[in-house]
Amino acid sequence: MKKAITLTALILSAILIFDSMNLGSALVMLLIAGQIPGTSASIDAGAMLIFFMFVSGILAGRLTSKLLSLLGQTTPLRGVINR
């Protein structure tokens, strides 16, 4: 019980600190507009596109591998010749 109270107080303190720094709006502005928090600089659209495609490719690969493991598929679907 004491551990749960300590953990709850720690989480709530972190939320208050992040809220006072406007971390949520800074993260949204980084993801939508490419504006780097704390500066007036921004990331160009091409670099943001490459970043988002990289992240979406990683997520799609992880999702596909998880679905294949849940379905019991142990080999890749293409490029494998069963002998």
In tens, the pLDDT along 43-79 reads 999 999 999 999 999 999 999 988 888 887 665 556 5
pLDDT of residue 61: 93
Q: What is the DSSP letter of 36?
A: P
48 and 38: one domain? no
Whether the Cβ atoms of residue 26 and residue 37 lie closer than 8 Å to each other: yes
Q: List 35's β-bridge partners, or say none.
A: 42
Enter the pTM of the model. 0.57
pLDDT digits (tens, 9 = 90+) for 9-47: 999 999 999 889 888 899 899 888 899 888 889 999 999
| Structural domain boundaries enclosing 53 | 44-83
Same domain, 9 and 34: yes
In a shared domain, residues 32 and 57: no
